[in-house]
Amino acid sequence: MTSKSFSFQLNPPTEQSARLGQIRCPHGTVDTPVFMPVGTVGTVKGLTVDQVESTGATMILGNTYHLALRPGSKLVEKLGGLHKFTGWQGPILTDSGGFQVFSLSKINKVTEEAATFQSHIDGAKLELTPEESIRIQERLGSDVAMVLDHVVALPSERKLVEEAMERSTRWAARCLDAASREQQAKFAIVQGGLDVSLRRRSSEGLTALPFDGYAVGGLSVGEPPAEMYRVIEATTPFLPRDKPRYLMGVGRPIDLLEGIARGIDMFDCVMPTRNGRNALAFTWNGTVRLRNAKHAEDPRPLDENCPCLACKHSRSYLRHLFNAKEMLGPILLTHHNLTFYQLVMQEARKQIAAGTFDDWLSRQRGVIDEPER
Pairwise CA distance, residues 12 & 140, whole Å: 33
Closest CA to 305 of 277, 276, 334, 336: 336
Q: List the alpha helices (DSSP H) in 143-252.
A: 158-178, 196-207, 225-235
Q: How far is CA 289 from CA 37, 81, 97, 252, in A?
A: 21, 39, 32, 15
For the annotated catalytic residues, the residue numbers are 95, 268
The contacts found for 292-300 with CB under 8 angstroms, 24 or more apart, are 295/319
Q: Under 8 Å CB-to-CB from 140, ≥6 apart: which residues?
A: 62, 64, 67, 73, 76, 77, 81, 82, 92, 94
Longest dimension (CA), the chain: 60
> In this structure, what are the phi and psi dihedrals at residue 206, rounded to the nearest 5 degrees?
-80, -35
Torsion of CA 83, 88, 93, 94, to 10 degrees: -60
